[in-house]
Amino acid sequence: MIIYRAVQTALLAGFFLKSGECLASNGSTALIGDEDMQTPFPEWLKEFTNITQWPGLDPPYIPLDYIDLTKVPEFERYQSGRCPNISREQCSFDCYNCVDVDDVTSCFKLSQTFDDGPTPATETLLENLRHRTTFFVLGINTVSFPHIYESVVERGHLVGTHTWSHAFLPSLSNEEIVAQIEWSIWAMNATGKHFPKYFRPPYGAIDNRVRAIVKQFGLTVVLWDHDTFDWKLITNDKLRTEEQIFKDIETWKSQRKGLILEHDGARRTVDLAIKINKLVGNDQLTVAECIGDTDYIERYD
């Protein structure tokens, strides 16, 4: 029996965003599972962090020799939805839909993608998928639900990082951004023995300062061009209906291409995802297949 408590994050923030993504059950995103079932804290990580257990929502910054923060451009930090003071050169996706040439935003075949897992709801999705897909996971959920993460990988799906605890990265210091990325990568390596290649920013919140840091990790930024706003189904005021979402899916199907943003953080959005899957069909690709690139930067077994 998995006992888990939902951790409230700065989350209803999604309401401020036009291309906002958000999440889970009642406005929570990161889940902390039963500690006894966690991914064990690995010896190799103890050695160079001097830390002996997985951190909470604010992971500590550990300097890395391949990350040079002096090369990161200086741009103003901003909170969710505080866009007016943001310069255009900052290239914020959440503020201005600005994308960098290296960002992946679409796919030549219409394909679903899933953020915020792994959670117990992910298992239901796995049982219903008949093709490979892409999951952007939270580190804190990865170490809390390692067996669900392993099922995702065993079934051949692609896994990318979505930070450690769903932080709004542009509001953080460079060091805090590094911490969010490095701990998510260590969680994935400790659980799945691989170093991810793809990164999706929570809330789509990314500017050129955040990009400069994630690129130093070798990560490719993945955004989307079709947002289901599925999380609005589970807000109290039910800002969106399934019918509205299915109508959008029909439009996207007629265009035949694109990356669809969905969430496997809650049972409600997973049930919707299964219905969307029936509409879109099984001729879908992973993000790596969309751009003809490798699944991971490194595999360790």
Ligand X SMILES: *[C@@H]1O[C@H](CO)[C@@H](O)[C@H](O)[C@H]1NC(C)=O
Residue type, 93: F
Tell me whether residue 27 or residue 201 sits nearer to ligand X (CB atom).
Answer: 27
Does 186 sit near ligand X (CB under 6 A)?
yes
With contacts defined by CB under 6 A, name the span among 47-55, 116-124, 239-247, 256-264 that binds ligand X.
47-55
Q: Which residues pair with 135 in a beta bridge?
A: 114, 159
Q: Which does 189 bind (CB under 5 to 8 A by kind): Zn ion, ligand X, none?
A: ligand X
**Contact, 161 vs 142, CB < 8 A?**
no
Listing DSSP states for 110-145 in one string gives -EEEEES--SHHHHHHHHH--S--EEEE-HHHHHHS
Least distance to ligand X from the beta carbon of 29, Å? 11
* 8 A C-beta contact, residue 190 and residue 166: no
Q: Which is nearer to Zn ion, 116 or 227 (CB)?
A: 116
Cis peptide before 118 (omega within 30 of 0): yes
User: Applying CB under 6 A, does 236 fall inside the site for ligand X?
Assistant: no
CB of 112 to Zn ion, least distance (A): 15
Residues belonging to the active site:
115, 263
Work out what residue 155 binds among Zn ion, ligand X, none; the CB cut-off runs from 5 to 8 Å by kind.
Answer: none
Query: Is residue 20 part of the contact set for Zn ion (CB under 5 A)?
Result: no
Nearer to ligand X by Cβ, of 149 and 224: the residue is: 149
- 103-115 burial, b if ≥16 CB within 10 A, otherwise e? bbbbbebbbbbbb
Question: What tokens does 85 get?
Answer: 């003071």
State the number of binding residues for ligand X (CB under 6 A).
16
